[in-house]
Amino acid sequence: MDCQQYQDALNAAALGAQSGADAQAFRLHLEICEGCRREFARRREFLGSLDRQLQTRFEAVPSPDFNARLRRRIASESERAPRPVLSWLPLLAGATALAALLAFLHYRGVMTPHQRDANAVHIASTPGAQPPQAAAADHPSAPVHANSPGAPNVRETPSLHPVVATAAASTSPALRVRIDRSELFATVRFTMDVAEGRIDATPLVSASQKSDEAAGAKPLEIPLLEVQPMDKMNSEASSSAN
Amino acid sequence: MDAFAESFAGTFVSPDASLAREFEERLADCPALAFRVALGVLRNRAEAEDVAQDALVRAYHNFHRLRDREKFRSWLVRMAWRLALDRIRARGRRQRYEDAAASFAVAAEAAAANAEDIAASREFENKVNIALDALPDKLRLVMVLAAIEGYDTREVAVLLEIPEGTVKSRLFLARKQMAEKLQWTASNIKTR
């Protein structure tokens, strides 16, 4: 009798994964084949030994001082564990408000090539200050920021597109606020100091200007964002125009 | 709460006392489970303990993020498994397999020289290690957990959050591949 055809059935049966007609056919074969019966028994024994070997290995337990070490480690790390989420809420609210304020200021901002060259962006920040075009229209004699023949090196941010400011809440100590607009992409990083209970609205990390990219210029990397009052900005623009 | 969890009473500093208490209660048999899972990958007791500790500390720090607390054990198993694999990768796969191959060769020689039972046992252990390592990760995890849980496929399914049928088929494949790797040879097997 050719037992080769029962090899797969032998494995499957030994592994306990045979059922239905195949199982029945194999059982009938075992009844008449001494060799296969022995081989089947040997494989069953082998699998039993394999299972026992693995099971014995995984009965291992950690060393007696495992719990004590874990306890010490957790206790020491607990001393610097983060505060619960709820205690962050006031700070988070403050940061979000700050983000909105920055977005607003950014919306009204102007950028000068001179300032860009100095790797710094100056944003008007006087509350209630009008956008440059409006200021120029209302007060023709006032310092002009944008596209004025008298101020060739001062350029207004091309158009005032809506600014999208999003604040991602997180229990991590850093809150990142991204301010996107069509011309300027900026990332502002807020650091929340829980121990001191304050928020450091430090600084723009990087920025690039799309208009520069479109013109084929190398994207501008601006490592620092400075916020200045509008009147200071105005005086700078005036002196530059003169 | 068992003795282990009791030993932690008050250890966990959390603004939410009930959260800390629940973590303590969930710990019960978990250190041993994390240790065994790590041991299934690393096979070095000291390293497995390190990984188990890392997994438990992570579990402690992130417990508040776990929405379904009933899944604590499976969450911990996955963490321990991943951390153990990370450690293996950091150590370098190549070195690991070279070590395994070397130990296999030594054991084979010992067996050929009419080794005693203990040597035969070690040889088989080495062979099993190699066969276990050769399994794909999914099959290996099922095989390790099945051995840990006494081949209770339902419990393994709960731990892995997969259907029991999937566990059975993976376990079948894992045992088949291991058996073939070991050439269904049980002649010199001695379990300790």
Tell me: the pLDDT tens digits for A197-226? 555 554 443 344 444 444 454 443 434 444
Tell me: the pLDDT tens digits for A31-86? 888 888 988 888 888 888 888 888 888 888 899 999 889 888 888 876 665 554 44
Mean pLDDT of the residues in chain B: 79
Q: Give the bridge partners for B43, in sequence order.
A: none
Residues A192, A176: Cα–Cα separation, whole Å: 10
Q: Are β-strands A174-180 and A198-200 bridged in parallel, bridged antiparallel, or unpaired?
A: unpaired
Whether pLDDT at A120 is above 70: no
Region A133-137: mean pLDDT is 39
pLDDT of residue A192: 56
Which one has a higher pLDDT value, B180 or A82?
A: B180
Tell me the pLDDT band of A189, cut-offs 50, 70 and 90: low
Which one has a higher pLDDT value, A206 or A12?
A: A12
ipTM: 0.73
**Pick from B49, B179, B184: which is nearest to A63 by CB?**
B49
CA B87 to chain centre: 13
Residues 6+ apart with CB under 8 A from A4: none
**Pick from A43, A49, A60: which is nearest to B189 by CB?**
A49
Tell me: the pLDDT tens digits for B49-58? 999 999 999 9
- Can you state the angle between helices B17-27 and B30-42, rounded to 10 degrees? 60
Tell me: the pLDDT tens digits for B103-152? 444 444 444 445 456 666 777 888 888 899 899 999 999 999 999 988 89
Whether pLDDT at B171 is above 70: yes
Region A118-141: mean pLDDT is 38
Instruction: Supply the pTM of this predicted model.
Output: 0.54
Chain B residues inside the 8 Å CB shell of A86: 15
What number of CA atoms fall less than 13 Å from residue A200's CA on the CB side? 10
CA nearest neighbour of A50 among B38, B113, B181: B181
Q: Which domains does chain B have, with CATH numbers?
A: 1-91 (1.10.1740.10), 94-192 (1.10.10.10)
pLDDT of residue B93: 57
Chain A residues inside the 8 Å CB shell of B8: 67, 71, 74
To probe the interface with A, which of B53, B132, B155 has the most A CB atoms within 10 Å? B53
Mean pLDDT of the residues in chain A: 59
First to last CA, chain B: 33
pLDDT of residue A90: 58
Q: What percent of chain A has pLDDT over 70?
A: 33
Tell me the pLDDT band of A21, cut-offs 50, 70 and 90: confident
